Chains A and B, each alone.
Chain A
Amino acid sequence: MSRLQLVPKYPREKQVMMNLNGDEAIAYAAKQSYVDVVAAYPITPQTIIVEKYSEFVANGEVHTEFVPVESEHSAMSACVGAAAAGARAFTATSSQGLALMVEILYIASGLRLPIVLAVVNRALSAPINIHNDHSDAYLMRDSGWIMLFAENVQEAYDTTIQAFKIAEHPEVQLPTSVHIDGFFLSHTLENIYTLPDEAVYEFLGGPRKIPKVRVDYFGEEVDYVLNPARPLSFGNLALYDYYFEMKIPQLIAINKALDVIKQVNEEWYELTGRRYGNGLVDPYMVEDADIVIVAMGSGAGTIRSVVKKYRERGLKIGLLRVRSYRPFPHSDIRNLLRNTKLVVVMDRAIGPGQYGALYLDIASTLYHERSRPILVDYVYGLGGRDLSPDMVSTMINQLVKDLERGYIPEEERLRFLGVRG
């Protein structure tokens, strides 16, 4: 091994291997993250995250106040209240629950409260369905939350702990969501490496730190919290004279998160020996690839294995997994896809009347390049339909033909994978 090999602070032998599914891994990560308040509601479809967390509370393993609210809307509302009062707040949801929460998601980010939300991505009704796709995640696309997509259970655990650090970074102070694919990750057992409690506590710097804000009345910097010593008003009315100016710092903060996500990814690497690309994007054999598949979530695992096979056969193909969907890492993606001939975007949701949401993001990223690759959108896996390696092979075979042809006609730019009829 080269001398550049980094020795993590907690090498594998110092970590604890546990057999957990995605839900349990997230609950375990939250347990280690010194969360003060968990508010949750089991809307259909429900997740095991909060069940597992309730067990920790019932057994006295955590100091957390568990608030079993009466709706997902109240779950996020209670998290807003708790975070404004200075607590580290966490909740989890899925599909219809996320839809009900949306109103308060905007308020949480507008008030700059670093809440962490685990989203088990599932299809939206109707027809009602409890299986995975990303249509619920796109509901919160413009809500001002940092959105991180995990590929496997290990990453779900790692990302949940990282999410607290990213959200609470003094220059970010924005709510963060961790997305895992329903059933594919949430209910699939995996052997994962977990850190000892004290390592996580140290990584996060202990309990939540309250940021300071400058307030003219006090003539000093005061804690941004509901504090009887220095009373502040949260959630004021701001009209056309101030609303615009109050939204801009939010944009600056989420752009700042691009650096912070990278930095936290590196810190995690130094601690555990694990990292996910540069934290924002996770490329696989992209450098010299003619064809690059862009995907998010668990589907990337399947695609990677197929890409590997095609590489062995000599096809110059790569995979680019987007880990941070918001903020969207434009420059990283542009640099990676600059010399690609064909980019295929895999969308696990439809945007009726439009291409898929990820496709639009990739298209807007590549638009400014002098020579643009051919771009095609594949919609797959709606309502939990499996993405099999065969399907990916079929797609790649078609892409090879497209590349030979040199263009994709307009009516073929939106394609569907694995749909009958």
Chain B
Amino acid sequence: MVVKTIPEIPVKKGEPPYKLWIFEPGEKKEFPLVFNLRQLAEQRRPALIPGHRLCAGCAAPIVVKLASFAFRGPTIVVSATGCLEVSTSIYPYTSWAVPWIHNAFENAAATASGIEAAIKALKKTGRLKYDHVDVVVFAGDGGTYDIGFQALSGMAERGHDVLYILYDNEAYMNTGIQRSGGTPKFAWTTTSPVGSVLPGKGEHKKPIADIMVAHRIPYVATATPAHWMDLMKKVRKGIEVNGPAFIHALSSCDRGWRHEEAISIEILRRAVDTCYFPLWEWTPETGYLLTDRSLVIARNPSLKQPIDKFLEVQGRFRHLLRPENKELLKQLQDYVDAVWEDLLKRASNAPR
């Protein structure tokens, strides 16, 4: 038997082990972006502190923690109703080390707009105690693709200086795995069950990040917590741009995707390796740029894995691996290939 020991986190004597982030008024220091693991462990604490009740194997807290390592200073976090919100804020406790607000399901972007406007107004009248306060939204796929899309689009159009991070677990996991606009084709959910006639969801995933690109906001990117340095860099860029930024982070859900808890990160790695979820960033100046593993695959196409590699470890796609469903699997492969080819044409750093 392997004995697992919890690594000791350096704690100053007399301080509680998990402290809130305190920025005294007038604090001017900006956190540097560090990637050295030892430095990270010693110098930085995540904005989401232990004690939350998210499931074992959930990738959402990993997205949040990595993103918070890239925060630059005083930050206000907004959450839409969802898994992340209900399991991190059960009264009388909270897991948030930063000022945090949850309003409702569909209005995280509108709430963030209001906060950003308030910060501007306070700054204008000399009542803001900091040089800048960043506003970051964490919302799930339901609160972004579907019910929250109007507020998101409005926020992008109005140009509020907010970073919106979508953690996309591809269904309404909080309410019991119902299909959303982010659920991929042929995936099983409780409202797109696999029956004798229908093979799961009938429609493809909405290309949400491309829709945000169409808003021509200063920064759009895709990321996964498996490619953690890439995610952190993108979050910092999203915070630093002057105006709205959008990051689409794929986030595995062992309950909804029907996989083992221990392989959450491995699945996300495979999502990128199969080009099911390519990593890229977009700015109005540079256009699409592939990043991290997706750039490697573009340069060396032999590294691209078949979609089966992504599907085979997930119960929600089990039916696709049956021999009689070969045709469906091919359809999905063709779709993934077409989207990837399209991206290669658009990405200015892809080899020609």
Binding site for B on A (CB under 8 A): 36-37, 39, 63-65, 67-71, 73-75, 77-87, 89, 103-104, 107, 207, 217, 226-239, 242, 246
Contacts and interface: CB of A to CB of B under 8 A. Distances in A.
A108 to B, nearest CB: 9
Interface of B: 20-25, 27, 73-76, 78, 85-86, 89-92, 94, 96-104, 106-107, 109-115, 117-122, 124-125, 127, 129-130, 133, 150-151, 153-154, 157-158
Contacts of A79: 114
A87 B154 contact: no
Given A36-B121, A70-B151, A234-B102, A77 B107 contact: yes
A71 B158 CA distance: 13
Contacts of B112: 81
11 contacts: A73-B110, A74-B151, A77-B103, A80-B111, A85-B115, A86-B118, A226-B115, A228-B74, A236-B102, A237-B85, A237-B91
A70 B23 contact: no
Given A74-B109, A78-B110, A82-B118, 6 more contacts: A67-B117, A77-B103, A80-B103, A233-B100, A235-B101, A238-B91
B101 A74 contact: no
Given A68-B158, A229-B23, A81 B98 contact: no
Contacts of B76: 85, 226, 228
Contacts of B127: 86, 207
Centre residue among A73, A230, A235 by max chain B CB count within 10 A: A235
B19 to A, nearest CB: 10
A406 B121 CA distance: 62
A139 to B, nearest CB: 17
B82 to A, nearest CB: 11
B158 A67 contact: yes
B142 to A, nearest CB: 16
Contacts of B122: 36, 85-87
A85 B113 contact: no
Contacts of A37: 114, 117-118, 121
Contact of B111 (A78, A228, A237): A78
Contacts of A242: 91-92
B104 A70 contact: no
B21 A228 contact: yes
B98 A65 contact: no
A16 to B, nearest CB: 25
A77 B115 CA distance: 10
B23 to A, nearest CB: 4
Contacts of A78: 110-111, 113-114, 117
Contacts of A232: 99-100
Contacts of B154: 69-71, 74
A239 B90 contact: yes
B10 to A, nearest CB: 21
Contact of A65 (B86, B104, B120): B120
A86 B78 CA distance: 15
A239 B151 CA distance: 27
Nearest to B89: A236
Contacts of A237: 85-86, 89-91
Contacts of A228: 21-23, 27, 73-76, 98-99, 130, 133
A77 B104 contact: yes
B281 to A, nearest CB: 26
A226 B101 contact: yes
B127 to A, nearest CB: 7
Contacts of B98: 228, 231
Centre residue among B89, B115, B133 by max chain A CB count within 10 A: B115
Nearest to A227: B99
B96 A207 contact: no
Contacts of A238: 90-91
B118 A81 contact: yes
A182 to B, nearest CB: 26
A226 B113 contact: no
A236 B91 contact: yes
